[in-house]
Amino acid sequence: MIEPLKLGVIGLGRAFTLMLPTFTADPRIQLTAASDPRADARERFAHEFNAKSFEDAEALCADPDLSAVYIASPHQFHVAHVKLAAKYGKHALVEKPMALSVAECQEMIAAAREANITLLVGHSHSFDLPYLRARAMIRSGAYGHVRMINALNFTDFLYRPRRPEELDTSQGGGVVFSQAAHQVDIVRLLAQAKATSIRAFTGNWDAARSTEGAYSAQIKFADGSFASLTYSGYAHFDTDEFMGWWGELGQGRDGEASYGRARQNLLKASSVTEEIALKNARAYGTSGSDAFRIDGEIAHNHFGLVVASCEHADLRPLPHGVMVYGDKARHLDELPAPKIPRAEVVDELYAAAISGTPPLHSGEWGLATLEICLAILEAAKTGQEVELNNQV
């Protein structure tokens, strides 16, 4: 008999809707309570899961029925909400980015350590099974040492409905805070040494959505290997085309039918209030959609094109496995289709909270990733190489 982890949720927005199929399908998770400022979201959650709801995050963390808290609130609230979880002795899974500064990350790590709770940072795409399989293949030594990693992703991120702070870099907006964490996590997962420095450029070329919509960065590692990261959220080319039109969340897509959809949908909003309403329609609540429900065949999640170049093979994680381009031949190291999307997040959370297994995506891991995201912004601003000091 599986002992379920009684989970509370802080924030019933878009991040929660993306994790909801995982939480509802996995018997190791029992959704027990939620907090959110929107009454309709709280009411729906309470009814749908026969669970408690709170307007206040501290009241949720104080609930003695909970063992862990999933913190899916906006970026700027992560540090306060992790501290609340620690105050009441609850294990914490906090969405990426972990926080908006190195100092805030250090505060969160210290609070978790003092309270003797597990602090886990995610979901990022480095939890996805194809990347974990590629990591295991690299660590086996069968293909030699990793020498270079290339990561490339083009999406419509900047033209999805946003709150004003999501378009303000100073408040954690833009693609570097929200999307670079995925690529940085994946590259760090596959590399065999600590990152040491960053060079980068960022792109901000739509005055109506004046934050970083693109970046290109190079990471140097201590063993002499290096990585190139490129991302664009400007809604033109889509790297799902390189993935056989399997979407980031493992869903099949019609590339022709979906082209330009994000920009077209955004035309429905002529004010900030209307754009926030469009965003809420993609979140959880009585006014929100059920788009988070997954029906039919699914593949593994991905984050665009990633190629890890080893001495004797290039490894390319795909929605159905890892393509190996070896010295003499190529083959697909196939993975079975997932029964539960993003189950790897629960694997890590459950093992840490129930069995005390140290997580890979720890607070220290999240700090190292945020440091690189901040370094991308600094390197782009100054034109200088930025040294890294908090890598693990």
Name residues of the chain where pLDDT drops below 50. 289, 291
Q: Retrieve residue 392's tokens.
A: 């693990």
Name the burial class of residue 265, with classes exposed (0-12), middle (13-18) and buried (19+) by CB atoms within 10 angstroms of its CB.
middle
State whether 137 and 174 are in the same domain. Answer: yes
State whether 253 and 151 are in the same domain. Answer: yes
State whether 189 and 41 are in the same domain. Answer: no
State whether 104 and 224 are in the same domain. Answer: no
Strands (E), the chain: 5-10, 29-35, 52-54, 68-71, 91-94, 119-121, 146-154, 195-203, 214-221, 226-232, 305-310, 313-318, 321-326, 330-334, 386-387
pLDDT digits (tens, 9 = 90+) for 75-104: 999 999 999 999 999 999 999 999 999 999
CB neighbours of residue 141 within 10 Å: 9
State whether 172 and 245 are in the same domain. Answer: yes
Phi, psi of 61 (to 5 degrees): -65, -30
State whether 31 and 153 are in the same domain. Answer: no
pLDDT score of 296: 74
Domain interval for residue 76: 5-125+342-362
State whether 205 and 350 are in the same domain. Answer: no
For residue 10, give the nearest of 37, 30, 29, 28 by alpha carbon.
Answer: 37
Please tell me the distance from the alpha carbon of residue 279 to that of residue 301, in angstroms, as a whole number.
Answer: 22
% helix / strand / coil in the chain, to the nearest 5? 40, 20, 40
Q: Which residue has the tokens 């990350």?
A: 105
In a domain, 367, yes or no: no
In a domain, 258, yes or no: yes
In a domain, 369, yes or no: no
Grouping H, G, I as helix, E, B as strand and the rest as coil, residue 163 is: coil
State whether 331 and 350 are in the same domain. Answer: no
Please tell me the distance from the alpha carbon of residue 252 to that of residue 295, in angstroms, as a whole number.
Answer: 10
Above pLDDT 70, what percent of the chain? 97
State whether 20 and 108 are in the same domain. Answer: yes
CATH number at residue 59: 3.40.50.720
pLDDT score of 287: 55
pLDDT score of 293: 60
State whether 174 and 291 are in the same domain. Answer: yes
Number of domains in the chain: 2
Please tell me the distance from the alpha carbon of residue 34 to that of residue 111, in angstroms, as a whole number.
Answer: 22
DSSP single-letter state for residue 190: H
In a domain, 17, yes or no: yes
Please tell me the distance from the alpha carbon of residue 381 to that of residue 371, in angstroms, as a whole number.
Answer: 15
Name the burial class of residue 276, with classes exposed (0-12), middle (13-18) and buried (19+) by CB atoms within 10 angstroms of its CB.
middle
State whether 120 and 132 are in the same domain. Answer: no
Grouping H, G, I as helix, E, B as strand and the rest as coil, residue 203 is: strand
pLDDT score of 291: 47
